[in-house]
Amino acid sequence: MTLRTAGSVLVVFLWSVAVVLGQIGWSVTYTTQSICTLEGSTVELSCSYIYPSGTVTTTFWFTKNDAEGKYVSLLDDPDYKGRVTYRKDKENGHTLSITDLRESDSATYKFRFITDQTGGKYTGTPGVTLSVTGTVILYIVLICLNALSVTGTVILYMVLICLITLSVTGIVILYIVLICLITLSVTGTVTFYILAILESLCLSQVQ
């Protein structure tokens, strides 16, 4: 798990390096399999693809189908209007960018491409699982960074966060209170416990 804070993407957790699945001559390679990031930030999902012959005529990302069962490109999805861009990074490379992330954007994103050959259509599976969480996670991470070696201060900050975020997520508050009780006299393992909880929260967002 890697924690990244850069630009408009505040916090991102990455699991796995690449996912390559497909049939002979066809495949999509995703840069990462799962991402957890903050509401209001920007995220980029990238992939590369190969195919046996022909010319690619259409490329797009999607999360759902329409009433007729057809895949809906995010560019045509009203839920993402004005927040999505596609970019061709290189030959057979593609990047999806989503700005102003919302918790409702949490989903599995898949890339699909179509060629000019008969039956030349392919969707990369399993896709990239995106989990968008609220700002309470940012507060906890900042506590980790600012109070790594001060046990009393960590506990004080966390108690304050408990009070500040009472109306945000009950489960988050429960986790923080448990951490306070467990780590009252443990300095070195405070960060480990908090990061472990953050990972479990990110994963629970997509279940």
Per-residue pLDDT 10s for the chain (207 aa) are: 443 433 333 344 344 334 444 467 899 999 999 998 889 999 999 999 999 989 999 999 999 999 888 999 999 999 999 999 999 988 889 999 999 999 999 999 999 999 998 889 999 999 999 999 876 655 565 565 555 545 555 555 555 555 555 434 444 555 555 565 555 545 455 555 555 555 555 455 444
Amino acid sitting at position 201? L
**pLDDT number for residue 20:** 44
Total count of residues recorded for the chain: 207
> Which tokens is 151 given?
């046990």
Residue 62 backbone dihedrals phi, psi, to 5 degrees: -150, 165
Residues 6+ away with beta carbon under 8 Å from 16: 32, 33, 34
Of 46, 31, 133, 20, the C-alpha closest to 98 is 46
CA distance 109 to 191: 31
Structure tokens at 139: 């507060």
pLDDT of residue 91: 83
Angle in degrees, 0-180, between the axes of helices 190-204 and 170-182, rounded to the nearest 10: 160
CATH class of 2-133: mainly beta
The span from the CA of 51 to the CA of 25, in Å, is 5
Question: What pLDDT does 169 receive?
Answer: 46
Per-residue pLDDT at 14: 42
Domain boundaries, the chain: 2-133, 136-204
**pTM strictly above 0.95:** no
- The pLDDT value given to residue 3: 38
